Structure 1
Amino acid sequence: MSPSDSIEIELKFDVDAGLPAPDLTGLVDGGTVGEPTTYLLEATYFDTADTALARNRITLRRRTGGTDAGWHLKRPSSVPGGRKETAVGFDEAGDAQVPAHLREQVLTIVRSAPLVPVATITTDRTVTRVLDADGRSLAEFCEDLVSAESLLPGGSVHRWAEWEFELTGGDAKLLKRAKGVLRSAGAREASSVSKLARAIGSRPHDDLVRALPKKATALGLVQYDLAAHRDALVAWDPIARENGEDAVHQMRVAARKIRSILASYPGVIAPEAAAPVAEELRLLGEVLGDARDREVRLAANAQLLHREQAPDDLVRALIDDERLHHERALKSMRFALTTLRYLRLLDDLDALIEAPIPGPAAARDARDVAADAIGRAYSRMVSAEKRLKKYSPWSAEWVEQLHTIRKRAKAVRYTAESADPLGKRAFHRAGKEAKRVQNHLGVFHDTVVNRRHLAGVAANPDLSREALFVLGRLDAHEEARGRRAVKKYRRTR
């Protein structure tokens, strides 16, 4: 069985052992409940010695018994109240070692640390399915008697009873009704977020991004921002490996924002500590950028061809060949994200956040340092705009200068956004203004890149006349789109 993903949405309650289960037939109009089925579940939970996974609300287990024996990885999800679960069966991964696919999903958390057994949990589970009028499963109600042993130093054995109510096809309304019924029957708020957390006494940490004090120092602001974007980088990593929607882009943005902070506040952290991390982030950005650029180009080509009667040879050139290049770029990216060099970068970034070497501006007021940084970035953008007047409109130099303006607008935006925690309206306005410039010139830059790509495709001597004709139409569309973007930029400024 190949790895499978699902979103787990459930309620969890503590109950007294032997508490009778309530009648659930009234939860669904015209619905019924299935016959209770009992299973014996035996699970071994894996983590690092310092429980890095548990502290990040992630559980990894090997479980036998029930209907889904195998390896299971559970982690936070963007779905409200849900957790993402990835399952790998024993026939796919074997039952002795943590599957490579699951380890990759948590690599940015565990780094090079070994995954070792930290707890064993045995659950005597009785499952009752809640069915709709047509017999389709909407939820499962589980009555669990749990025996858990912590394998950590000083660990002990715990026993308790709990109820779980998990959606299998129902909706939030069913979940709300079930919550009322179960509480009325004697269920209490769960004392822990998971069986593992209760077994090992671990609590998720919530201090990755701490609130800034009112009178923050420049170093405090930089640490705050670096931690926020480090967390984003780590969170998007496993999704990017699977080429999830927008994940490579968001991971690349996180890396860029960290570099921007280090560049915008040069006197806050000592350069001998910041520069190596910035350089490694630049190289990471190149790897991510190749995959992202191919993704963007593939999407752009598909959009350009959407309303065209394109011949097969042009579809091959713009779609099939580009998809192959994109897959190769993703493969290179995935390899880079498994290297020791990448893991060392994450370790060095952690050290930069948790134990930075202060620079000469570290103790200055954060607002003053942020104002200076935004002012410098804004001045560089304005200077680039002034130099634009030296070039003939639409000349190669003029186009390149617009690209420079776009990059400097992005620097203003990122620097202003880094100061958002300070709550200064002037900083926010500067960021919004720069974002508009970046967006309009970003569209123009995309058209420039696309037109160059189309010209390269047109240079293929084997292309049909029909393909060349369509390419000419596509180039005209992109030229018009670029001119509209420049017009919007001029109105903005």
Structure 2
Amino acid sequence: MVDAVRETERKYEAADDIEPPDMRVRGVGSVVDAGRQRLDAVYYDTADGRLAAAGITLRRRTGGSDDGWHLKFPVGPDVREEIRAPLAPEVPRELIALVHSRVREAPLVPVMELVSERRARGLRDAEGTPLAEVSVDHVRARRPSGAAGRPARWTEVEAELAADGRPKLLDRIEKRLLAAGLRRARAASKLERALAETAPEEAPSGSAPEPAAPAPGTAGACVLDYVREQVEALVALDPAVRRDVPDSVHRMRVATRRLRSCFRSASPVLDRAVTDPLGEELRRLAAGLAQDRDREVLAERLSGRLAELPPALRLGPVADRLRAEDRARRGGSRTRAIEVLDDPHHLVLLRELDELLADPPLRPAAERPAPEVLARVLRRDVERLDARVGRALELPPGDERDRALHEARKAAKRARYAAEAARPALGRRAKRAARSLTSVQKLLGEHQDSVVARRALRELALRAHTAGEPSFTYGLLHAREAALAEGYERELPRLWRSVHGRLPG
């Protein structure tokens, strides 16, 4: 079993004989001696330091009040998410899964041993509620036995907020510490400093030259920056999806769609003989995640529509049935999402994306100025969207028009993502285009959600009828969704005329 806590702290470099100043800053009623502790920690990483490169730390620590395994992810300045697991001889499987996207097939091995002699002081308010802890750590670091490197020693002061502490308190503590001659630590963690100070003194060895990167300002540089951003999102969101962090599945799906769209739209820049197979693997990943996200969207829509009805029109156990259906769908969709992340194909995809970034399959247009190439790419995607909207509007209402509008929605996403990728090159033009295309995508998305909702409501009504329950409310919700869809279809021509005139053409 693992637990997660949010850790907010700041570290300061200090002399060995440091005596922290009086910490009774504004808001602090008392300072109590929290005693002395010896903390023994062994940090784990891959041999080539993949976790450290991402600012992630994994350690097994004894001593103090939180013995066990600690996995820390950076969240923001001074803030990290700490996942804790009970003390065990080996790295817990739950924690290995959370770094799966970073370490890939590489084993986790001990990379650093730290011993901290800590003296802590607790800061409390006037009622005795803990606010923060300020500690002095005398640290000894060494690489594991047999590893090259030299030992290191230093002293640091750490100020950490209590669970409900306010960040402004850290500002007041910092002001007091800086006035006493301390300074903010240059390293974000003890491990980062230990790795730097214990590094072996070796002459750099010769290595093969890296492929030449595209020059700044070129189409190749702009496209690769966008690809790199989406690949990092895929890797970083993997543990969030596994932990069921809200909106994480959606954000990972968006990253896969952005990559696929980029590979298709940027065909003048990147060779599709290389990117098309990657696009297929990204499609597989998105499909594995889709079930969970689609379930979430449908559940929110149906429960929201039901809440809009007056109580007198809610006949039968409709809310209970909606919740039961969602629970039944959720179990299978969560399992499928984790399965697709654990699938060996996923690691192959991540490795091949890394290889593409390391040695990109650039085409001649990659060397041309980014504004010239990416403006043409965006115009082409807008033309595709225009054709699909036009075709959908020519069809009579019904299933065929619904499918055509769904295809137009896909084209709107692709054009929007092309505008986003082009923003560094085209600036405000691309920003305005992305905003306009988002409005079209949103309208078409609402229409598609209505199509899916009507299909689900019909199935729910049939099951309710079979169970002897009233089906009136489901029919009412179905009619409401049909009316909304008609409204979206009436609105589309006006919206598209308005938007199209503002898009690059």
Please confirm whether the aligned pair reaches a TM-score higher than 0.5, indicating the same fold. Answer: yes
- 1:160 is matched with which residue: 144, 154, 157? 154
Q: Is residue 377 from structure 1 mapped to residue 381 from structure 2 by the alignment?
A: yes
- Once the 2 structures are TM-superposed, how far is the Cα of residue 477 of structure 1 from its aligned partner? 2.2
The whole-number CA distance in structure 2 between the counterparts of 1:349 and 1:472 is 47
- Once the 2 structures are TM-superposed, how far is the Cα of residue 389 of structure 1 from its aligned partner? 4.2
Deviates more, 1:472-481 or 1:224-233: 472-481
Q: 1:53: which partner in 2? A: 51
- 1:173 is matched with which residue: 168, 176, 183? 168
TM-score, normalization by structure 1 = 0.92
- 1:405 is matched with which residue: 398, 408, 411? 408
Q: Deviations over 1:154-205 (max 9, x none)?
A: 32100011100100032122111101111222222213221111111199xx
| 1:298–1:323 contact (8 Å) kept in structure 2 | no
Q: 1:148: which partner in 2? A: 141
| 2:222–2:370 contact (8 Å) kept in structure 1 | yes
Taking the TM superposition and a 5 Å limit, the aligned residue runs for 1:19-58 are: 19-28=18-27, 31-58=29-56
Structure 1 vs Structure 2: percent identity of aligned residues? 36
The whole-number CA distance in structure 1 between the counterparts of 2:275 and 2:197 is 33
Q: 1:130: which partner in 2? A: 123
Residue 16 of structure 1 aligns with an amino acid whose one-letter code is A
TM-score, normalization by structure 2 = 0.90
Q: 2:98: which partner in 1? A: 105
Q: Is residue 279 from structure 1 mapped to residue 305 from structure 2 by the alignment?
A: no
Q: Is residue 117 from structure 1 mapped to residue 134 from structure 2 by the alignment?
A: no
- Once the 2 structures are TM-superposed, how far is the Cα of residue 153 of structure 1 from its aligned partner? 4.5
Cα RMSD (Å)? 2.1
Q: 2:84: which partner in 1? A: 87
Q: 1:206: which partner in 2? A: none
Q: 1:232: which partner in 2? A: 233
Q: Deviations over 1:403-459 (max 9, x none)?
A: 222221111111111111113433333322221111111111111110111112222
The whole-number CA distance in structure 2 between the counterparts of 1:35 and 1:218 is 60
| 2:152–2:197 contact (8 Å) kept in structure 1 | no
Give structure 1 stretches of 5+ with no counterpart: 204-211
| 2:315–2:472 contact (8 Å) kept in structure 1 | no
| 2:25–2:172 contact (8 Å) kept in structure 1 | no
Q: 2:246: which partner in 1? A: 245
The whole-number CA distance in structure 1 between the counterparts of 2:460 and 2:103 is 44
Q: 2:421: which partner in 1? A: 418
- In structure 2, the residue corresponding to 1:98 is in which secondary structure? coil
- Closer, same or farther: CA 165–215 of 1 in aligned 2, 3 Å: closer
- In structure 2, the residue corresponding to 1:325 is in which secondary structure? helix
- Once the 2 structures are TM-superposed, how far is the Cα of residue 485 of structure 1 from its aligned partner? 3.0
Residue 12 of structure 1 aligns with an amino acid whose one-letter code is K
| 1:314–1:463 contact (8 Å) kept in structure 2 | no
| 1:215–1:365 contact (8 Å) kept in structure 2 | no
Q: 1:482: which partner in 2? A: 485
- 1:320 is matched with which residue: 319, 324, 332? 324
Q: 1:329: which partner in 2? A: 333
- Closer, same or farther: CA 103–35 of 1 in aligned 2, 3 Å: same
- Closer, same or farther: CA 424–135 of 1 in aligned 2, 3 Å: closer
| 2:3–2:84 contact (8 Å) kept in structure 1 | yes
- Closer, same or farther: CA 390–27 of 1 in aligned 2, 3 Å: closer
- Once the 2 structures are TM-superposed, how far is the Cα of residue 219 of structure 1 from its aligned partner? 2.0
Q: 2:201: which partner in 1? A: none
Q: How many residues align?
A: 476
Q: 1:432: which partner in 2? A: 435
- Once the 2 structures are TM-superposed, how far is the Cα of residue 307 of structure 1 from its aligned partner? 4.4
The whole-number CA distance in structure 2 between the counterparts of 1:316 and 1:492 is 38
The whole-number CA distance in structure 1 between the counterparts of 2:73 and 2:174 is 23
| 2:71–2:82 contact (8 Å) kept in structure 1 | yes
- Once the 2 structures are TM-superposed, how far is the Cα of residue 295 of structure 1 from its aligned partner? 1.3
| 2:15–2:155 contact (8 Å) kept in structure 1 | yes
The whole-number CA distance in structure 1 between the counterparts of 2:472 and 2:385 is 40
Q: Runs of at least 4 residues of structure 1 off by over 4 A?
A: 212-215, 307-313
- In structure 2, the residue corresponding to 1:323 is in which secondary structure? helix
The whole-number CA distance in structure 1 between the counterparts of 2:259 and 2:303 is 32
Q: Is residue 390 from structure 1 mapped to residue 400 from structure 2 by the alignment?
A: no
- In structure 2, the residue corresponding to 1:122 is in which secondary structure? strand
| 1:75–1:85 contact (8 Å) kept in structure 2 | yes
Residue 277 of structure 1 aligns with an amino acid whose one-letter code is L
| 1:11–1:164 contact (8 Å) kept in structure 2 | yes
- Once the 2 structures are TM-superposed, how far is the Cα of residue 312 of structure 1 from its aligned partner? 5.9
Q: Deviations over 1:305-333 (max 9, x none)?
A: 32455466533432212222122111111
- Closer, same or farther: CA 17–116 of 1 in aligned 2, 3 Å: same
Q: Deviations over 1:445-490 (max 9, x none)?
A: 1111101111122223414352x11111211222233233334433
- Once the 2 structures are TM-superposed, how far is the Cα of residue 103 of structure 1 from its aligned partner? 1.3
- In structure 2, the residue corresponding to 1:220 is in which secondary structure? helix
